[in-house]
Structure 1
Amino acid sequence: MRMDFKDKVAIITGSNQGIGKELARQLGLAGAKVVINGRNEQKLALVQEEFQKLGIDSLPLNGDISDYRFCQSLIGKTIDHYGQLDILINNAGMSAKASVEEGDPDSFKKIIEINLLGSTYTTKYAIPHLREREGSVMLISSLAGIHGLPYFAAYSTSKKALTALAESLRVELHPSNIHVGIAYVGFTETDEQKTFYNHKGELEYLEKRKNMNPTPISVTAEKIISQIKNRKKSSYHSLVGQLNRFLYRLYPPFVEMFLKRSLGKFK
């Protein structure tokens, strides 16, 4: 069963920039009503202004998904405004770069709260409304969700846990015919204002990756939307991701050996 996005209502967390913003833009142009979300109220207002000029029906809801009370409010205000919910895309996320030994404990906690618990909270409160519409839940993971990456333990842990969350949800929600999908996104163009936590727990701007050929944000968003439209369980967005998945399933020690030999490139 394919989904037609016209007049569907979609919540995209972390949609004031990057992939989330592009997902909201493409869905909006396809006829969906989009709820945009982010922690930076000023950025969110600019996105809302941009979408209004494009004729997109959007509702900005500023807040932090690591707070379950906000997640409950996010779903509630969406229902109050639009009367339904068809799609939930759990896109909001943060990263941290540090070894487990040297990393800041508070940063590790924040990463888990945003990337994992935030997705869990929003999904929890969305389920009753998605059940009514036989809707879709999408979890946005990454290559780090296939095999943990050195110096990105917090991020890898949070993204790998999303796989278990998706697996649990599929079984629990099977009688409701709610689609549960997970996307393992590859190296994608980053917003110039994208930040991450360093080993001191301080926010730094993410530098553009050298010797990389990142996927355009628009292409990544298109693949995620196609997955929702076709109600696919999982998708691996790059050749590297597909190869990583294949090797990890076929012979996990090979992936670990490769990462050990490439350790210096991650520092």
Structure 2
Amino acid sequence: MTRAARSPLRGRVVVVTGAARGLGAALAHEVARRGGVPALLGHEPDLLARVAARLPGPALVHEVDITDAPALRDAAEEVRRRLGRPSAVIANAGVAEGGPFASSDPAEWRRVIEVNLVGSAQTARVFLPDLTATAGFYLQIASLASMGAAPMMSAYCASKAGVEAFAHSLRAEVAHRRVGVGIAYLNWMGTEMIRDADQHAVLRELRGHMPPPARRVYRADVAAARVVRGLERRRTAMYVPAWLRLVQPVRAALPPVVLRLSRHELPRLEEREPLLHTGLLGAGGDADRAAAGTGGQDSR
């Protein structure tokens, strides 16, 4: 029996936000490979269509900004009309920006929060009636940043801490309705967002001073396979790489460690060159600037 034939996702509708590139595209492919029917939401309709064309099964493409509540409701209605009620929703859309908080662009900083946190919550809101009807599963893509904040990434870290708290709260609210809620904690993924971050000396060096396992970059397709396997099993927590689960019991110790490292490294880096703001990272950030004027949703 093939993996698709025995997967609980077989024939099930799975919504993936931020699906035009990177991890989102890899998640859509993994869902389809296991027999699911992905609904690809995001910016860049041409890229979404290209991702859908490479899938080993049917899919729906819908261009939408997840921070636009009416447009997101329209997207949810189209998914229901064309595919049926979703059994799972993967809230993957996200963006990042780097640099000192004091010199950050307020609109771009706010956009990170709006896309990553508010957009995820709005995604849950519009699809929650479907997940209730199907006893489905909401999967929130989070990060090591949810467990331990890093300097020069204040908006991203705040947003990822927020989505973790949101998912925990939502899980407690909907468990009696047989709706599951999971959190996928990821480290550095080999996507355009990370490649763009590495073009900025300060972010590159800060990552370079992390312990070797923590600075390693992981392939998006490998991460997607592990995440979708966790989705099939309705796990409340998934970790890529697996060692991230060891951080959970010691996460309270991370801020002093980060503070000590930052006190040593940031002055040294600042002596060499100014600590500049990066703007929104990744090609997805560029796409959203064209579409919405500030941020980016498909850059992971």
Q: TM range, normalised to the smaller chain?
A: 0.7 to 0.9
Q: 1:199-248 CA distances to partner (integer Å, 9 max, x unpaired)?
A: xxxxxx44376854311111111121122111111123236633433321
CA distance in 1, matches of 2:191, 2:16: 17
Match of 2:198 among 192, 198, 207: 207
Alignment of 1:165-176 (within 5 A): 165-176=166-177
Q: Partner residue of 1:186?
A: 187
Query: 1:85–1:253: structure 2 CA closer, same or farther, 3 Å change rule?
Result: closer
Q: 1:173-202 CA distances to partner (integer Å, 9 max, x unpaired)?
A: 0111111001110111113xx489xxxxxx
Deviates more, 1:229-238 or 1:110-119: 229-238
2:51 is aligned with what amino acid? V
CA distance in 1, matches of 2:188, 2:68: 28
TM-score by length of 1: 0.86
CA distance in 2, matches of 1:23, 1:175: 28
- CA offset at residue 38 of structure 1? 1.7
CA distance in 2, matches of 1:259, 1:5: 44
Q: 1:39-70 CA distances to partner (integer Å, 9 max, x unpaired)?
A: 1122112212222xx3x110000111111112
RMSD (Å) for aligned C-alpha atoms: 2.4
Query: 1:188–1:162: structure 2 CA closer, same or farther, 3 Å change rule?
Result: same
Alignment of 1:43-58 (within 5 A): 43-51=47-55, 54=56, 56-58=57-59
CA distance in 2, matches of 1:74, 1:177: 24
CA distance in 1, matches of 2:72, 2:264: 39
Q: Partner residue of 1:93?
A: 94
1:153 matched to 2:154: yes
Equivalent pairs counted in the alignment come to 252
CA distance in 2, matches of 1:119, 1:150: 23
1:6 is aligned with what amino acid? R
1:229 matched to 2:232: yes
Question: Does structure 1 retain, via aligned residues, the 8 Å contact 2:183–2:237?
Answer: yes
Question: Does structure 1 retain, via aligned residues, the 8 Å contact 2:7–2:34?
Answer: no
Unaligned runs of 5+ in 2: 1-5, 209-214, 276-300
Alignment of 1:12-23 (within 5 A): 12-23=16-27
Alignment of 1:36-75 (within 5 A): 36-51=40-55, 54=56, 56-75=57-76
2:44 is aligned with what amino acid? N
SS at match of 1:139: strand
**Larger helix share, 1 or 2:** 2
Q: Partner residue of 2:278?
A: none
Question: Does structure 2 retain, via aligned residues, the 8 Å contact 1:14–1:91?
Answer: yes
Q: 1:149-177 CA distances to partner (integer Å, 9 max, x unpaired)?
A: 10000000000001110111011101111
Query: 1:66–1:263: structure 2 CA closer, same or farther, 3 Å change rule?
Result: farther
TM-score by length of 2: 0.77
CA distance in 2, matches of 1:231, 1:37: 22
Query: 1:83–1:215: structure 2 CA closer, same or farther, 3 Å change rule?
Result: same
Q: Partner residue of 2:39?
A: 35
Unaligned runs of 5+ in 1: 197-204
CA distance in 2, matches of 1:126, 1:173: 13
Determine what percentage of the aligned residue pairs are the same residue. Answer: 26
2:238 is aligned with what amino acid? S
- CA offset at residue 256 of structure 1? 3.7
CA distance in 1, matches of 2:236, 2:115: 23
Question: Does structure 1 retain, via aligned residues, the 8 Å contact 2:28–2:40?
Answer: yes
SS at match of 1:173: helix
Q: Partner residue of 2:281?
A: none
CA distance in 2, matches of 1:237, 1:22: 14
